[in-house]
Amino acid sequence: MKPATPYPLLMAIDSPADLRRLPAGQLETVAAELRRYLIDTVSQMGGHFAAGLGTVELTVALHYVFDTPTDRLVWDVGHQAYPHKVLTGRRDRLRTIKLKGGLAPFPTRVESEYDTFGVGHSSTSISAALGMAIAAARGRSRRIVSVIGDGAMSAGMAFEALNHAGSLDVDMLVILNDNDMSISENVGAFSNYFARVLSGKLYATLREGSKRVLSRMPTVWELARRSEEHMKGMVLPGTIFEEMGFNYIGPIDGHDIGALVATLRNLRDMKGPQFLHVITRKGKGYAPAEADPIKWHGPGPFDPKSGIIFKETASGPAYSQVFGQWMCDMAELDPQLVAITPAMREGSGLVEYSKRFPERYFDVAIAEQHAVTLGAGMACEGLHPVIAIYSTFLQRAYDQLIHDVALQNLPVTLAIDRAGLVGGDGATHQGSYDLSFLRCIPNLVLMAPADENECRQMLYTAVQLRRPAAVRYPRGQGPGVVQEPVMQALPLGKAQVRRDGRSGLLLIAVGAMVPMCDWLAEKHDATLVNLRFVKPLDEELIVHLAGTHRALVTIEENVVAGGAGSAINECLLAHGHVMPTLNLGIPDRFIEHGSREDCLAAAGLDAASIDGAIEHWWRMPARATG
């Protein structure tokens, strides 16, 4: 006899169709089981946690009311989508999330028909949902729902989409999942009742009927319209959305599943752009996560009873910690230094700095474009802005970097975290492209440190240059090199020869690949160069070494196309040097999720793969004999 499962209802749900066959009275039990399942499962393998706990009831209600996957449900970012994965046939595979060959960390179209749009970066859901709604209006009978968090709503792209959607005659529902740490005073029985009334058929009929009658009397119609907006604005924060063309409903308690189902049923049948404001609590149902949702955003494995997060031992500080300490040290020396981050305080290592120098710390929320141009404006007036930003998030501010910073040659420093392969967050977060898209920009200096101390000195160098400069460094720990407390600027554009070899093989490595190449240089008796500066290149050294070696291998944690290896190739050709060259880097495909080691192996950039590639290529007869 099998032991009883602690999740009897949840284990019977293999698709939303199974959920919709349940009576509404059982949905609270489903939600409770789903929340326990998330706690039990994520505690074993880690992953995005607090956001998903906050959307349990909303997810259950959405799949209960809407005919998914025929009706399209578009999640923003995807941190909150673990409950969605559980209810859409992936319950038993949740333990594999972020692992090689396992579930993706975010919704992705190739994984499930219920994942209608691939996400990972924020603020895309309304635009994507609007595109789907426009397509649905061409004869397809389906409803379109976008779920966006209050953090993602801070990005300009979300408001661009709202502005466009409100001007079109399309049927779509935008749900604002407002998961602030406190629930507003107007959330409760009365406001839930008010939301149901505003979304009900009687109110909608009266509202539309009044519009038709009063629109024939322009003066009276304008008075009525203003009166309606004024009354709703007195008790609801939705006037801005009404002005953008949406019918605003809410706020509603996102943990009252009865109110959610009733309101969503009403909204499902309403025409035109609808906006539902839902208040949830991050970490709902797990006390440690409710008390500190930032800490519990994406924990590793933990003990669900004690709330102790198990930490892996590390040989040295993470690069983000190196950056954070440098920021504090530099701020003591330079009163004009300011920090800017697009909602990445914790991830970028700026917690201590933000406490010690609050008047010189600017978190602009999820607004990468604004962050870069804000820094440009500060630089115009003599400040020394340092923008802490992830490699993949910098992609979203490329025009601002070119037009507002580089074109004006402004002294803005970019501290680019998560450069290279990041592991479990997968293809949406792999920092594979920054060397390629940055080195083509005029006026910009581009550096990549081989270790923690070099990172510290490069950051100092960048600020001292008084021109656009970027330092790109990887996620996680460095090789454990001791950091020198005294900061010294590195000679601009000068590489470092780490080993002189006698075999005729020249290895030029970039950033985090340099320590890995130390033993490879020993094995192949090769000369090893730490490039340091991708732009400007140390052309003098590269040309000299090319003339004294028979073959060249470049190694970088960036795509081969347009990367540092390409820059070296261009340099040699410009100086008339033609030599056998092997460029190793991230191949021309997206590297999916797994551990960092898995990702390096998939890209052919783990030590064994690099060694094998060099062995096969270098030992070819033409190069072996010179």
- Pick the closest to residue 161 from 129, 116, 119 (CA basis): 129
The reply, when asked if residue 122 is annotated as ligand binding, is: yes
- C-alpha triplet 400, 590, 552: angle, nearest 5°: 90
CA distance to 169, 327, 392, 465, 470, per residue, from 339 (Å):
43, 8, 19, 17, 14
d(CA 587, CA 584): 8
Is the link from the previous residue into 69 a cis peptide, with omega within 30 of 0? yes
**To which residue do tokens 């940055």 refer?**
438
- C-alpha triplet 212, 217, 219: angle, nearest 5°: 125
The reply, when asked if residue 150 is annotated as ligand binding, is: yes
Let me know how many helices (H) and strands (E) the chain has, helices first.
27, 17
The reply, when asked if residue 286 is annotated as ligand binding, is: yes
Pairing of the two strands 469-472 and 445-447: parallel
d(CA 548, CA 577): 11
Amino acid, res. 121:
H
Residue 409, Cβ density class (10 Å: 0-12 exposed, 13-18 middle, ≥19 buried): middle
Residue 421, Cβ density class (10 Å: 0-12 exposed, 13-18 middle, ≥19 buried): buried
- Pick the closest to residue 619 from 580, 561, 564 (CA basis): 580
What sections of 307-418 are H helices per DSSP? 319-333, 345-348, 351-356, 368-380, 391-394, 398-400
Active site residues: 282, 368, 396
Tell me the sheet residues that pair with 390: 417
The reply, when asked if residue 583 is annotated as ligand binding, is: no
CA distance to 124, 240, 279, per residue, from 159 (Å):
10, 11, 20
- Residue 127 tokens read as 């635009």
The reply, when asked if residue 615 is annotated as ligand binding, is: no
Strand, coil or helix: what is 472? strand
CA distance to 76, 100, 473, 525, per residue, from 607 (Å):
37, 19, 19, 16
What is the layout of strands, in order, in the sheet containing 172-178?
Answer: 72-75, 144-149, 172-178, 273-279, 247-253
Length of the chain: 626
**To which residue do tokens 């960092």 refer?**
596
- Pick the closest to residue 270 from 199, 333, 343, 334 (CA basis): 199
The reply, when asked if residue 64 is annotated as ligand binding, is: no
d(CA 274, CA 267): 7
The reply, when asked if residue 152 is annotated as ligand binding, is: yes
The reply, when asked if residue 230 is annotated as ligand binding, is: no
The reply, when asked if residue 151 is annotated as ligand binding, is: yes
- Pick the closest to residue 518 from 442, 593, 610 (CA basis): 610
Residue 287, Cβ density class (10 Å: 0-12 exposed, 13-18 middle, ≥19 buried): exposed
The reply, when asked if residue 368 is annotated as ligand binding, is: yes
* Residues making up the binding site for thiamine diphosphate: 79, 120-122, 151-152, 179, 286, 368
* Residues making up the binding site for Mg(2+): 150, 179
* Residues making up the binding site: 79, 120-122, 150-152, 179, 286, 368
